[in-house]
Amino acid sequence: MSDDPMDPKADDVEVDQAERPARWFRVPRKRRRWPWVFMWVAILIVGAGAGLAVASYQLLGNTLEQASPDTQLVKDAQKAVDPDVPGEPVNILLIGSDKRAGAEGGGDPGRADSLILLRMDGDRGFISMLSFPRDLYVNIPGSGMGKINGAFSLGGPGKTIETIKKLTGQPINYFVNIDFDGFVKLVDQVGGVYLDVDRKYFHKNVPGDGIDDYEEIDLSPGYQRMNGVDALDYVRYRHTDSDFARIARQQAFLSELKRQTNRFGNLPEIPAYAKIFATNITTNVRSVPRLLGILEQAMTTDKDRIARNSISGRPNMRGGASVVDVAPGEIEAKVDAWLHPEFEQGSASAVVRPNSVKVQVVNGNGRLLDAEKATDQLRARGYDAVSGGNADSFGKPETVVAYADGQREAAKNVAALFGSGAVLAALPRSGTPDGLDVRVTVGESYDGALVTKKKAKKKSKPAAYVVDTTSLVGLGKRIQKGTGLKIMVPTRVPTGSELKIVRAYRVNTGGEGPQALKMVFRIPQGTYWGYQVLDWADPPLLEGRTGVVKSGGREYSTFYDGKNLMRLAWQKDGITYWISNTLDYALSPETMYAIAKSVRPVNRATLRPGAKPVEIPIQQDAYTP
C-alpha cells in the first residue's frame, strides 16, 4: 500500500470492521435529557470516593443519611417503591428537577425536568435506560390525565413513581432526585471536563422582543476544559437543536467525564464530593452495602453493555396545551426493549420450528376478518395458529406480537412476518391462557399480507461524497505564521461544505494551555462537522478510541458510537489532528476517511492528479444556530 495519503490507491481502505469489536448498543434518535448524565456524575464521583479506603464506609453512611431526609415527600416515595429482591435486577427512577424535593422539609417539591428509568441487571451484565418526554400525556393516579412531569409537582417523587409504575407495569426499587446546582458543583469539584465542542453556542435574552426566554449560553467551539456552568448549559441546550443532537452532546460529556474520574484515586477531596452529593440529591437508598453494589456495577459495566431507549410519541394539543401522545403499543415495545436489550451487531432471531409455536391472533384494527386472514397466513407458514376474535379495543396502530415466558425468540420470528410495523411485548403473567406462546394483536400496520423474505442483494461499496479544494491553504498559512502552530489542512471536504468559524486559541482560559485551531463547517443538511489541530500529544480525548486503522502511512484512531464513526484522529510530530462528524452522524465513514487522508501540511498541500478544485465559501466568525 502507498505511504502517501494523497495516493488515489490509498482510498481503497476497508473501514475498520476487523478492528472493531462486534458488540454495539443502539442509540435511538429520540428525546433524552441531561439527568442521566448527572446521575453518572454522582455515581462516578461517589463510587470513586468509596473505593479509596475502608474509612469511606462511614462517610457514605453519613452521606446517605443526609440524602434521605425524614420529610413527608421522602416518606411518600418510600411507600411507593417496591422491595429490592436479592439476585433480581434493580430498577432506579432518576428524576432531574430544578430543586431538591422536600429539601426544606416539605412544601413545593419543585419542577421535574426529566425522568429516566434505569435497570441494572447484574446477572446478565447490562444497564438499560428508558426515558420519558416531560410532556407525555398519561394517567396520573388520583389526579386523572395530565403531563407526566406534572406528577412531580403534585406529589414529588412518590407520585412520579406511582405514575411510571402504572404506565410501564414495571416495579421501581429506588429513586434518585437530582437538582441543577449539584451538577454544577460536581463538575467544578472535579476540575472541569475536557470536551470537543462542535460549534458556537450562543443565546442572550432580550427583554420585550416577544421571543420566549431560554437559558443564556456563550460557548465557543473547539477542544476545551468546561466548568460546571458551561457543562450544564451545554448538555441542557435545546432551543435550536434536535433531540438527537442533545443526546450526542450528553454522550460526549459522559464519555470524557468517565475518563477523568479514572484519576480520582489520588484526590484528597472525597469529603467535598460527598457533601455535594448529600445536599443536592434525594434518594431512598439507605444501605451502604446496597449503594456500593450499585456503584460497582455502574463503574464496571462496559459501554457496549449500556442500552438506551426512549419513548417518542407524537406531538398534540389538548386544552390549549402542547402534549405528547403515545400509543400503548409503543409503550409495550419500548419497555420490552428496555427489559431485553440487544447488544449483538446484526443479531438475528434463533431458529424456532413454527409448528412448535402456539399463536393466538386477535383483531386490534377493527377491519373485518383481519384476524382470521392473518391466522390462515400463519398456518400456511407452519404455525399452530388460532383466531381469538377481537382485542379489547380497536384503532391500534401497530401490530403487537406478545410472548409468554421463554418464547421471545419465537415471537421475533413471528414479528418479522408482519414487517417493520410490528412491535414486541411481553404477555402478562395473569390472564394468559395456558399453553399460549405468542399472541398477535393485528393493528392498522397490517396490510393483509405477511412479509415475503427476499434474497439479499450484494451491496456495493459506499462512496465518499467529497469535493477537492485548495480554499483552506492560504488561510492555514496565515494561521501558521501568526501562531507558530504547525498547520495541515484538508484538500477534500464534504460536498456543499461551508466554512463558518475559524478559531485559533489556547485550550484553557487565561491565555494558557496548548495552541489549537478549530474549523467548523456547515453542510447542506444544516449540521456541522469539525476539523481540529491541537499541539498536545496526549489529550484525554485519545483515551477513548475504539480501534486503530493503518492506511497511507498514517495510523488513525477511530471513535465509534455504536455503528457510527464520530471521530477520526491521527498524530504527527507531537501534534494531534482529528475530523469530527456532525452530531447526527451525517458524514459516512468513507467520507470522513477521504477528508482525513487529504489533509496535508500547508506548504505542501496539492490536489490529487486530475482533481478539479472547487471554491468553498469561507466565513471566520459566523452565527451557527
330-348 confidence digits (pLDDT tens): 898 889 889 888 664 334 4
* Residue-level pLDDT at 224: 92
In angstroms, rounded to a whole number, what is the distance separating the alpha carbons of residues 75 and 62?
19
Query: Residues near 519 by Cβ (< 8 Å), separated by ≥ 6?
Result: 472, 499, 501, 502, 503, 530, 531, 532
Residue ranges covered by each domain of the chain:
8-20+462-604, 35-190+264-339, 354-442
* Residue-level pLDDT at 243: 54
| CA distances, 472 to each of 243, 373, 480, 529 (Å) | 32, 63, 12, 15
* Residue-level pLDDT at 475: 96
In angstroms, rounded to a whole number, what is the distance separating the alpha carbons of residues 513 and 533?
14
In angstroms, rounded to a whole number, what is the distance separating the alpha carbons of residues 597 and 99?
49
Q: What are phi and psi of 384, to 5 degrees?
A: -85, 80
Q: Identify the segments of the chain with pLDDT beneath 70.
A: 1-60, 98-111, 113, 123, 208-214, 238-248, 250-251, 254-255, 258-270, 296, 298-304, 342-351, 429-431, 453-461, 509-511, 562
Three-class DSSP category at 624: coil
* Residue-level pLDDT at 64: 75
In angstroms, rounded to a whole number, what is the distance separating the alpha carbons of residues 66 and 59?
11
* Residue-level pLDDT at 429: 65
CATH topology of domain 35-190+264-339: Nucleotidyltransferase; domain 5 (3.30.420)
372-395 confidence digits (pLDDT tens): 999 999 999 999 999 988 888 888
In angstroms, rounded to a whole number, what is the distance separating the alpha carbons of residues 349 and 344?
11
In angstroms, rounded to a whole number, what is the distance separating the alpha carbons of residues 116 and 118?
6
DSSP element (H, E) containing 572 = strand 564-572
Q: Which amino acid makes up residue 577?
A: Y
* Residue-level pLDDT at 427: 81
Length of the chain: 625
The model's pTM: 0.66
The DSSP letter of residue 412 is H
* Residue-level pLDDT at 374: 92
Task: Print burial letters for 67-106: b (CB count within 10 Å at least 16), e (below 16).
Answer: bbbebebbebbbebbeeeeeeebbbbbbbbbebbbbbeee
Domain 8-20+462-604 indexed as CATH 1.10.10: no
DSSP element (H, E) containing 554 = strand 554-561
* Residue-level pLDDT at 183: 77
* Residue-level pLDDT at 593: 96
| CA distances, 29 to each of 308, 309, 310, 442 (Å) | 10, 9, 9, 26
10-52 confidence digits (pLDDT tens): 444 444 443 333 333 333 333 334 455 555 555 554 454 444 4
Reference 528, options 597, 586, 465; nearest CA is 586
CATH topology of domain 354-442: Alpha-Beta Plaits (3.30.70)
* Residue-level pLDDT at 91: 94
